[in-house]
Amino acid sequence: MITRGLDVNAVELVVSDGTTGLPTVIQKKLPSAQQQRCITHKVRGITRYLTYKELPNTNENEQHVGLSAAKAVRREQIESDAYAIFNAPNYEAASVLLADFQHKWNLTEPKAVRIFTRDINLCFTFYQFNSSLHSHIRTTNHLERLFREFRTKTDEIGAFPHETCCLTLFFLFYQRDHAKHNRSFLAKTS
């Protein structure tokens, strides 16, 4: 992107998954940029480290529940609590919810809490930007969806006669996606 003319000083934010080499690249190549860790990847990562200690064997109605149902409830509860942190209106409120999350889950799911809270401040970078942008810049989902749609379309087309055709299609996909976000943003602000 730099060789194609990207102004490295204009880049303010890079949203990414948990790729380990990216912070070094951002520091070296994009001096004005901050990193925002994708909250969706961060929350989904919790489930790999759940130990499911002390699972209840009954639900709120005192009915017996099986092991798989109890695990599903635990997963849903911890993910819901984690997403609530990032839905807070500001950094201060998010910090309070994070402390509550740690207090609530640290005894039963210490490994998951430790992994989730590692580098958690990278997930709070979006709070430094205008709140109207938060839902767009705290996750990589928008970009991943654009790439998935583009791959689907290129699979339908098959082979491109030359690189310009492929770049033209990508440009048109990007323009359409940009127009959708502009309409959505204008609808929210009016």
Successive 10-residue mean pLDDT values, the chain, 190 residues: 86 85 86 91 94 84 85 94 97 98 97 96 95 88 72 78 80 76 59
Q: Which residues of 116-145 are buried (b: 16+ CB within 10 A; e: fewer)?
A: beeebebbbbbbebeeeeeebbbbbeeeee
Within this chain, do residues 171 and 114 fall inside the same structural domain, yes or no? Answer: no
CB 21 within 8 A of CB 30: no
Its domain, for residue 173, covers 141-189
What's the whole-model pTM score?
A: 0.76
Q: Is residue 1 included in any domain, yes or no? A: no
Q: Which residues contact 10 (CB under 8 A, 6 or more apart)?
A: 32
Residue 70: strand, helix, or coil: helix
Residues 75 and 164 in one domain: no
- Quote the DSSP letter at residue 98: H
The DSSP secondary-structure symbol of 34 reads E
In a domain, 4, yes or no: no
Amino acid at 172: L
Q: What is the pLDDT of residue 20?
A: 79
Q: Say whether both 159 and 133 belong to one domain.
A: no
The reply to whether 172 and 123 lie within a common domain is: no
Kindly state whether residues 78 and 160 are assigned to the same domain.
Answer: no
Q: Within 13 Å of residue 116, how many CA atoms lie on the same side as its CB?
A: 27
**Residues 145 and 73 grouped into a single domain:** no
* 184 and 106 fall within a common domain: no
- Say what the pLDDT of residue 185 is: 53
Into how many domains does the chain fold?
Answer: 2
Tally of helices (H runs) and strands (E runs) in the chain: 8, 2
pLDDT at 184: 59
Output the pLDDT for position 188.
Answer: 60
Task: Map tokens 């989904």 to a residue.
Answer: 44
Query: Do residue 111 and residue 152 come from a single domain?
Result: no
Q: Evaluate whether residue 6 is within a structural domain.
A: no
127 and 114 co-located in one domain: yes
Domain shared by 78 and 164, yes or no:
no
Q: Is residue 66 part of a domain?
A: yes
Q: Report the pLDDT value the prediction gives residue 187, as an integer from 0 to 100.
A: 60
H/E run at residue 77: helix 67-86
**Domain co-membership, 170 together with 131:** no
